[in-house]
Chains A and B, each alone.
Chain A
Amino acid sequence: MERHLAVIEREEPRIGAFLRVTEDLARSQAAEADRRLASGEGVTPLTGIPLAIKDVICVAGVETTAGSRILSGFRPPYDATVIARLREAGAVFLGMTNCDEFAMGSSTENSGYHPTRNPHDPSRVPGGSSGGSAAAVASGEAVYALGTDTGGSIRQPAALCGVVGMKPTYGRVSRYGLIAFASSLDQIGPFATGVRDAALVLQAVSGPDPRDATSADRPVDVLSELEAGVEGLRLGVPREYFQVEGMEPGVKATVERALLVLERAGAELVEVSLPHTDYGLAAYYIIAPAECSSNLARFDSVRYGLRVEGENLLETYLRTRRQGFGPEVRRRIMLGTYALSAGYYDAYYLRAQKVRTLIARDFEQAFLHCDAIVSATSPVVAFPLGAKLADPLAMYLNDVLTLGGNLAGLPGVSVPCGTSEGLPVGLQVLAPQWRDATALRVARAYEVARD
């Protein structure tokens, strides 16, 4: 643990993965872990292992801001369920990692505090929104990290930083204590350097939670198939996912080589089709902002966080929210408010929900012909800081291969599969709902075959 605090001290000026390092908490948890290890009681695979936590997951007593100025100074009086489970397991909390404000973004440049840099090339972004968590693991600052994935926010930064990241099936991990961006899409998941570690973390935080009505009462078996290999598995290659706008040839070639590795390891590659892929981005950018416009209404300066006084209540609301929210958050609140407004609801929100159903059906159809779907995680490698800030649509395209998994509630893993232009490329494995074990199995099999 001291070693990790030292790495943090050395790397942070270059990377900026953390918003807050909780040294005192980490030291007391490490001491407690040492007692457990000495006595042999309450020891789990995570006991004494230091992790980093995305700043959207509430840790009791530790300032948690969702990367936003509007929550500056907010110390939750309660633990998120995943945090309570990790405490129980004897984990060591290194601190809160940087992210795009309220997890809205694909580069961590939308943080209300500072950007995070990619450990492989500090002139480039780490991806986002969980860029701080990905960078902390990639730079060796933390052994593993928690992130959240609403449209690709774990898988895309994992790909860009060259680490493993997993978004579990929606409902697998409790969202209680996760500061919501888009409630029907958000899911907490792990970052690690290898698939096995990611699976261990997922196993520890999974399972039904009486505080989250959308968490599922399903057996947690994410480790059951981990080393089973891909011999005899059919892996679907969705043709639409290799033809998306802006796909870099280097990324495509790297992923195609990875598919050959899987084929040599015994998998059968089959072409599948996800015909509504082109509509996914539009549907996502209606549904997610709609939910966000409602979820973020509570930040009104009355009970916690930032307060900028005005002449009257309305002015106080307006000033606080104008100063507290960054431009991307404000843009999405406006988009979402519009999409839910009387007269537009049917044309936007309702239609987007129909598209969502069609996309889920695409996957169901595809999974009739294969056990998992493989593709690139991101169509591009890490891009220079500032490159896409002026063009929100170009930024949104980063999520085009990942957000389908969120719309359909599927589990997805991104595993490093080589480089393009010297920068990491991620292979995405998507599996049917509740088949988290299968997604991890394929990713693990690739990892073994690659090495």
Chain B
Amino acid sequence: MTDSRWEAVIGLEVHAQLATRSKMFCSCPTDYLGAPPNTNVCEVCLGLPGVLPVINRRAVELTVRTALALGCRIARHTRFDRKNYFYPDLPKGYQISQYELPIGREGRLEVNGRTVRITRVHLEEDTGKLLHAGDALETAGESLVDLNRAGVPLMEIVSEPDLTGADEARDYAVTLREILRAIGASEADMEKGQLRAEANVSVRPRGSTELGVKTELKNINSFRFLQRAVEHEIRRQIRLLESGGVVVQETRGWSEAEQRTFSQRTKEYAQDYRYFPEPDLPPLELDPAWVERLRASLPELPPARRRRLVEQYGLPEFDAGQLTLDAATADLFEATVAAGAPPKQVANWIIGSRPSLAPEHLAELIRLVVEGTINREQGLQVLEEAQASGRPPGELVRERGLTQVSDEAALAGVIERVLAENPRAVADVRAGRQQAIGALLGQVRQATGGRANMKLATEMLRRRLGS
């Protein structure tokens, strides 16, 4: 916040749906999106009488990978606990989660050069979804329950309240998503609900070490909304405190339409979840040798790769950031550079829309442009054809006679002709109207069928007209 008398204290709880094929405790598939309600279910995730959970090994593995990527200490002995509460989207009346012994604890995530401490990473199951005919469960005339999502593996990543602003909160979530994607733990698509963030926000007089009363922001389904919701909430709390009011501990939602947070549920008394060890599952022992193998198999993570791209290739921070948004883009960049193209040029060709071209071919194409054999426009044309046909760019250039006209004598002839045919434009340029030079260049381009080395043509034209 810009207000210098106050500072914000923010912690994030992020839930990520793990990229497993089956649910946490049964064999139902996890791709429930689009399925008719209550069809992606079995007796286990419906919580029918008599059923028992069986742990999804892959979910444990992906959670350990995440905890490792976040630098957590990995528990040797861990277990699942029951979190008891009544809600119609919770078929068993309890959620199988981890309370006392999470898989990972005490990690860290670097966000824009600052270290945010990670409290814990644990594994649990998702709930179903409710559809209310009305605003909320309490006031709805009817509510519908869809249990397709019930039992989908969910990982909770809790940060310490180390974040100090709305932008930083968003950047934390974005960085976290990059890591989850890079290690294959989650597809982490916020719009699909695969990544959900809850922010705990409080403010305090700058320099104070005591924490203010916090509110919990929920129902945030995009990074932009997260940033706006936190920003709004910080401002709301400061206004409240400055006008002599007090912040009430409560859960607040974000209304994108109204651009404000609103009270959802006051926490007058703490919910007692009556956690106890899940008796249907034996304790989980994580073999340290297996954990070490997972650690060794982790790919280079986006923040580290970004730093390396800057250092190793001399790229600007912005380019490195864009290239490391996903691993495939960064991989293409490095392979293309290795195939002999200059790094900055490669970055320019890749950022924005990643070509689907073999690195050797992309390098060849970039060299053709850099060395002046073809111009940039021709390059884009060749790229398109190479992508469609899979043929080497050099071959296409030769075949189509696409080489650019860089021969000064040839260009001089064209330029003289154009000048002769456009006396008015020539006069305009001479009279100081520089934009008229564009019209003349257009004529040169046209006269060479788009093959003129435009950089050279521009130079020659300026020289000739003395402008």
Contact = CB atoms under 8 A, between A and B. Distances in A.
Contact of A179 (B50, B53, B84): B50
Contact of B50 (A58, A294, A296, A312): A58
Interface string A59-71: 0000010100001
B145 interface: yes
B52 A213 contact: yes
Contacts of B138: 312-313
Q: Which 6 residue pairs are nearest across A and B when measured between Cβ atoms?
A: A297-B93, A183-B279, A340-B274, A184-B279, A179-B49, A177-B50
A294 B49 contact: no
B93 A214 contact: no
Interface string A286-297: 000011011011
Contact of A298 (B55, B93, B272, B281): B93
Contact of A300 (B50, B54, B84, B88): B88
Given A294-B274, A312-B138, A214 B280 contact: yes
Nearest to A71: B49
Contacts of B93: 294, 296-300
B49 A58 contact: yes
A278 B48 CA distance: 37
B82 interface: yes
Chain B residues touching A, range: 20 to 34
A45 interface: no
Contacts of A441: none
Interface string B262-287: 00000000101011100111100000
Interface of A: 57-58, 64, 66, 71, 74, 76-78, 80, 175-180, 182-184, 210-214, 290-291, 293-294, 296-300, 302-304, 312-313, 317, 337, 340-342, 345, 349
Interface string B71-95: 0000000000010101010011110
B94 A176 contact: no
A298 B43 contact: no
Contacts, number: 106
Nearest to A343: B272
Given A213-B280, A298-B93, A303 B46 contact: yes
B328 interface: no
Contact of B88 (A57, A211, A302): A302
Contacts of A179: 49-50
A341 B49 contact: no
Interface in B1-59: 43, 46-55
A317 B88 CA distance: 10
A447 to B, nearest CB: 33
B100 to A, nearest CB: 11
B414 interface: no
Nearest to A80: B50
Given A341-B274, A342-B272, A291 B279 contact: yes
A298 B47 contact: yes
A179 B51 CA distance: 8
A294 B84 contact: yes
Given A58-B50, A213-B281, A345-B274, 18 more contacts: A78-B48, A176-B52, A179-B49, A212-B54, A213-B54, A213-B280, A213-B282, A291-B279, A293-B84, A294-B93, A297-B84, A297-B93, A298-B92, A299-B49, A303-B46, A313-B138, A337-B274, A342-B270
A176 B51 contact: yes
Contacts of B48: 76-78, 303-304
Q: Dominant SS at the B interface?
A: loop
B137 interface: yes
Given A213-B280, A290-B276, A303-B46, A340 B52 contact: no
A65 to B, nearest CB: 9
Contacts of B86: 297, 300, 317
Nearest to B53: A213
B275 to A, nearest CB: 8
A90 to B, nearest CB: 23
A176 B54 CA distance: 11
9 contacts: A64-B50, A80-B50, A175-B52, A176-B51, A212-B54, A293-B84, A313-B88, A313-B143, A340-B84
Interface in B66-118: 82, 84, 86, 88, 91-94
Interface of B: 43, 46-55, 82, 84, 86, 88, 91-94, 137-138, 143, 145, 270, 272, 274-276, 279-282
Contacts of A178: 50
A176 B50 CA distance: 6
B49 A340 contact: no
Contacts of A78: 43, 48
B52 A211 contact: yes
A182 B48 CA distance: 16
A76 B46 CA distance: 12
A426 B92 CA distance: 38
Contacts of A76: 43, 48-50
Contacts of B145: 302-303
Given A77-B43, A294-B93, A298-B92, A212 B49 contact: no
Contacts of B279: 182-184, 214, 291
Nearest to A78: B43
B143 to A, nearest CB: 8
B144 to A, nearest CB: 11
Given A300-B88, A340-B84, A180 B274 contact: no
A353 B82 CA distance: 16
Contacts of A299: 49, 93
Given A297-B86, A303-B91, A313-B88, A64 B49 contact: yes
Q: By CB atoms of chain A within 10 A, which of B84, B92, B274, B281 has the most?
A: B274
A13 to B, nearest CB: 30
A91 B49 CA distance: 23
B433 to A, nearest CB: 77
Nearest to A312: B138
Nearest to A64: B49
Contacts of B55: 213
A349 B92 contact: no
B282 A214 contact: yes
B77 to A, nearest CB: 16
A57 B50 CA distance: 8
A180 B91 CA distance: 15
Nearest to A215: B52
B282 A349 contact: no
A345 B276 contact: yes
Nearest to B84: A294
A21 B67 CA distance: 54
A303 B274 CA distance: 24
Contacts of B281: 213-214
Nearest to B145: A302
A399 B84 CA distance: 29
B59 to A, nearest CB: 14
A345 B81 CA distance: 14
Contact of B91 (A213, A298, A312): A298
A175 B274 CA distance: 24
Contacts of B43: 76-78
Contacts of A302: 88, 91, 145
Contacts of A175: 52
A222 to B, nearest CB: 22
A184 B55 CA distance: 17
B236 to A, nearest CB: 31
Given A66-B49, A341-B274, A345-B276, A313 B282 contact: no
Contacts of A300: 86, 88, 93
B146 to A, nearest CB: 12
Contacts of B54: 210-213
A212 B84 CA distance: 21
A58 B51 CA distance: 10
Nearest to B38: A303
